[in-house]
DNA sequence: CTTGCGGTTGACGCGACGTCAAGATCTAAC
DNA sequence: GTTAGATCTTGACGTCGCGTCAACCGCAAG
């Protein structure tokens, strides 16, 4: 008793292409092939196909399925390994979904979540930092002061708005659990760095220091934390990573 | 101010291959290409790359990203669409994980979940059905009776064990939410059908009827429900589908 | 003899690149 | 000027599980 491709197709619902594929990769060989080259499947093959389909439905890859069926690799072990893969995947999806949802909310500007720059920087007093900046990098401080002085109010507003946008994007990375050395975060920090070069060009040490200043207790930190909890520290870590691995000459691999 | 491939790589962490890929598919064109053919990226391109990386991190495909960036397609709309895709995917994963977990439990034979055939068929009385079977298909009933009479006790045990295994597999399909016309379920039912042919060869009507008998109130149903709630009805549906679409000549497409 | 069915073997396509392989070009050292 | 070495280029194949043509072949019925 043996069955042709179309009979197997009718019985099991798999397409002939799938059967050919399984034959090709040696996962399911026909019982025999008649002189005309047509495949014939016996009872054993149908049982095997049945097991293949069950395991496939459970999400195992064909290579893994072959290992289970041929090497008689322990099915339970294989499935348990697969299970943790699946759970990790679901965890990834969970945070991804959460991140996308928040990003949508932020972009929508729901009035509730909307952060207006004026409000964010309200009561902001950089005075405390001026002193130190002036004494540590007097030249850069002078250039920065000159640059900000030349700015029109509209320009200043736009800069603040841009800063908020950057914070929002950074917060998205933070919520996604993206490591600080990920390309996307690197690109973001690189952009921040490029933005700063309009006033001065911080080297590795200065850039890392700036990150730490942002994260210190004080108005800078508050502004960041108002956008998202943990943002200040996250950004500091990202900036330090950038300083070490990108700006420092000896930091590259 | 422009940057070479390796500079961009250092800044953003993307590989040169990725940049070439994005160039190839027109997602990110270099600002210009010098006479030697080397790519150079400007500030605009870096900003674009940054947005690409953010959207990619949120799980969007490159085609979708291009649509958002070029046609200025609404970012929020795109993300919301994406969000529902992600949520559907997570739902799929949820049931998949649950199914795999239960399958592992069943295979492990945790003593707790182990269903011993003797126990399952304990107190089983097919007598109520014999009457009807004998009157409806007298010939087949006679063949079945003869076949079972010839069986050794070991054979009978093995048959019961096989029946339990089949029920377990069916239960896995049920819990996975697999539709009854899925290849994997078809293959399972086909196997059941082949098993029956050792005694007789039911046609479409008889096979569908057998499915309904299994699902009726009574010991057959109880045996199935003991393995998994809903199994009796699920199997009936699967058998009816098989009868209509596979066994019936006019049922195929 | 033709038509049609059911089967066959390639081969490309998908998505987002990784990974060689072979050659071209730029930079610094000699 | 030459040459080594770093950097960069363009192909092209591999991944995973098949879907989807395209072209052809053998067999039975009209």
pLDDT digits (tens, 9 = 90+) for A30-72: 999 998 889 999 999 999 999 999 999 999 999 999 999 998 7
Inter-chain CB proximity B46 and A190 less than 8 Å = yes
Assess whether pLDDT exceeds 70 at residue B113: no
A118-122, A142-146, B8-12, B18-22: least confident range: A118-122
* pLDDT at residue B52, rounded to an integer: 96
Query: How near does any CA of chain A get to the CA of B161, in Å?
Result: 16
Average pLDDT over residues B235-243: 96
Nearest nucleic acid nucleotide to A14, CA to C1' distance: D18
Nearest nucleic acid nucleotide to B14, CA to C1' distance: C17
A103-107, A112-116, A136-140, B219-223: least confident range: A112-116
What are φ and ψ of residue B2, in 5° steps?
A: -140, 165
Cβ-Cβ contacts under 8 Å, A97 against chain B: 83, 86-87, 90
A18-27, A73-82, A175-184, B33-42: least confident range: A73-82
Question: At B252, is the pLDDT very low, low, confident or very high (cuts 50, 70, 90)?
Answer: very low
* pLDDT at residue A218, rounded to an integer: 86
Question: At B247, is the pLDDT very low, low, confident or very high (cuts 50, 70, 90)?
Answer: confident
* pLDDT at residue B157, rounded to an integer: 85
The more confident residue out of B48 and B148 is B48
The more confident residue out of A112 and A134 is A134
Distance CA B34, CA A132 (A): 44
Inter-chain CB proximity B182 and A101 less than 8 Å = no
For chain B, the average pLDDT equals 88
Q: Which of B 109-168 lie inside 8 A of A, CB atoms?
A: none
Question: At B153, is the pLDDT very low, low, confident or very high (cuts 50, 70, 90)?
Answer: confident
> Which amino acid residue lies closest to nucleotide C6, measuring CA to C1'?
A6
- How far apart, in Å, do the first and last CA atoms of chain B sit? 64
> Which amino acid residue lies closest to nucleotide C5, measuring CA to C1'?
A6
The alpha carbon torsion through A244, A246, A251, B1 (nearest 10 deg) reads: -130
Dihedral angle sign, alpha carbons of residues A141, A143, A148, A149: positive
The arrangement of strands across the sheet holding B3-4 comes to B3-4, B39-41, B32-33
Helix (H, G, I), strand (E, B) or coil at A54: helix
CB pairs under 8 A between A and B: 152
| % of chain B surpassing 70 pLDDT | 91
Cβ-Cβ contacts under 8 Å, B179 against chain A: none
Distance CA A122, CA B24 (A): 46
Inter-chain CB proximity A172 and B54 less than 8 Å = yes
Distance CA A250, CA B239 (A): 69
Q: To which H or E segment does residue A3 belong?
A: strand A3-4
pLDDT for A173-209, tens place per residue? Answer: 999 989 999 999 999 999 999 988 888 888 899 999 9
Domain B3-73 has CATH 1.10.1660.10: yes
Q: What's the full length of chain A, in residues?
A: 253
Please tell me if residue A53 touches chain B, with a CB cutoff of 8 Å.
yes
Q: To which H or E segment does residue A32 belong?
A: strand A32-33
Average pLDDT over residues B51-72: 93
Q: Quick check: B11 and B47 in contact, CB under 8 A?
A: no
Inter-chain CB proximity A93 and B96 less than 8 Å = no
């Amino acid at each position: 008793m043996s069955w042709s491709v179309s009979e197997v197709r009718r019985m099991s619902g798999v397409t002939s292409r799938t059967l050919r594929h399984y034959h090709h990769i040696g996962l399911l060989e026909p019982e025999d092939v008649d002189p005309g080259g047509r495949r014939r499947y016996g009872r054993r093959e149908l049982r095997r196909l049945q097991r293949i389909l069950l395991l496939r439905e459970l999400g195992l890859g064909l290579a893994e399925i072959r290992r289970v069926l041929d090497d008689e690799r322990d099915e339970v072990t294989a499935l348990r390994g697969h299970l943790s893969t699946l759970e990790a995947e679901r965890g990834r999806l969970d945070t991804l979904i959460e991140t996308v949802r928040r990003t949508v909310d932020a972009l929508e500007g729901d009035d509730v979540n909307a952060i207006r720059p004026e409000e964010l920087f309200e009561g902001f007093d950089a005075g405390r930092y001026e002193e130190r900046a002036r004494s540590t990098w007097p030249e850069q401080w002078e250039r920065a002061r000159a640059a900000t002085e030349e700015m029109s109010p509209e320009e200043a507003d736009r800069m603040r708005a841009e800063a908020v946008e950057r914070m929002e994007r950074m917060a998205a990375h933070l919520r996604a659990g993206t490591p600080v050395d990920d390309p996307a975060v690197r690109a973001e920090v690189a952009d921040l760095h490029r933005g700063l070069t309009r006033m001065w060009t911080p080297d590795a040490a200065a850039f890392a220091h700036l990150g730490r200043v942002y994260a210190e207790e004080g108005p800078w930190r508050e502004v960041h934390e108002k956008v998202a909890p943990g943002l200040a520290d996250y950004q500091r870590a990202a900036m330090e990573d950038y300083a070490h691995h990108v700006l420092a000459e000896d930091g590259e691999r």
